């Protein structure tokens, strides 16, 4: 009788353990944690719970989002939809419009190719980039590492804040270089910075992107422009 009772208790304990695992697994799948955690592990990045949450202690325009600072779980945006359907935070619209108007008056014709993105859209872009490198013969590890130089992991992309835009040129009227060069010289006047400049990849974790601009406010943009710092370096001077 004792052996049967012990066996019954062991079976009950095993059943309860498996039930607990199943419940936890369901919770993680529903909340998307397994999907993102598996991505983090595949990239050799520390677990999501060990990341910081981006802070707005210096103001919303200086919220630092990168591999170490995730977009807050609750982050509300008052959207403004542009004429081509792209969305941005309405607070940056006046400055973006002024910058584009002045650029056109100078003979260059920019437009917003990418504005706000959801986490799901960011994930798809990353998956597509990895697949592209894999099709070129990269190993899985190398494809993931190389893709991460160009595409941020969901939760770490400024596009999810709505205050970063990818700007391209209307090539029927001017070249991409015309737009990129004008932005590089003038964007700070309107509160924007080139977020991922050349020579700063070791700090930002992202390769040079001459099309990616981020609103930081006019005081910060002028300081960053004059000093040659990237946003991470500028934030460090405020701490």
- Euclidean distance between the first and the last CA atom of the chain, given in angstroms as a whole number: 69
For residue 81, list its beta bridge partners. Answer: 87
Residue 187: which of 113, 116, 110 has the closest Cα?
A: 110
Residue 163: which of 236, 221, 234, 83 has the closest Cα?
A: 221
For residue 169, list its beta bridge partners. Answer: 110
Quick check: is 120 catalytic?
A: no
* Strand, helix or coil for residue 225: helix
Q: Which of 121, 145, 209, 222 is catalytic?
A: 209
Give the Cα-Cα-Cα angle 90, 95, 100 (nearest 5 degrees). Answer: 110
Residue 235: which of 113, 41, 52, 91 has the closest Cα?
A: 52
Helix/strand/coil percent split, the chain, to 5: 55, 10, 35
**Residues known to be catalytic:** 209
């Amino acid at each position: 009788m004792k052996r049967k009772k012990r066996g019954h208790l062991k079976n009950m304990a095993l059943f309860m353990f498996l039930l607990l695992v199943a419940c936890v697994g369901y919770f993680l799948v529903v909340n998307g944690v397994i999907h993102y955690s598996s991505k983090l592990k595949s990239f050799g990045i520390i677990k999501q719970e060990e990341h910081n949450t981006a802070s707005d202690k210096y103001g919303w325009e200086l919220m630092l989002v990168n591999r170490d600072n995730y977009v807050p779980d609750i982050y509300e945006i008052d959207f403004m939809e542009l004429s081509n359907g792209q969305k941005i935070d309405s607070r940056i619209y006046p400055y973006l419009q002024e910058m584009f108007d002045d650029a056109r008056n100078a003979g260059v014709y920019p437009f917003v190719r990418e504005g706000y993105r959801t986490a799901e859209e960011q994930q798809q872009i990353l998956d597509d980039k990895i697949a592209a490198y894999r099709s070129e013969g990269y190993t899985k590890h190398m494809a993931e590492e190389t893709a991460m130089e160009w595409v941020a992991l969901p939760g770490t992309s400024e596009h999810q804040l709505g205050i970063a835009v990818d700007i391209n040129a209307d090539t029927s009227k001017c070249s991409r270089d015309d737009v990129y060069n004008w932005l590089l010289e003038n964007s700070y006047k309107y509160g924007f910075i080139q977020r991922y400049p050349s020579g700063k990849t070791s700090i930002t974790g992202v390769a040079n992107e001459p099309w990616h601009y981020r609103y930081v406010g006019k005081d910060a943009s002028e300081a960053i422009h004059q000093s040659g710092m990237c946003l991470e370096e500028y934030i460090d001077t405020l701490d």
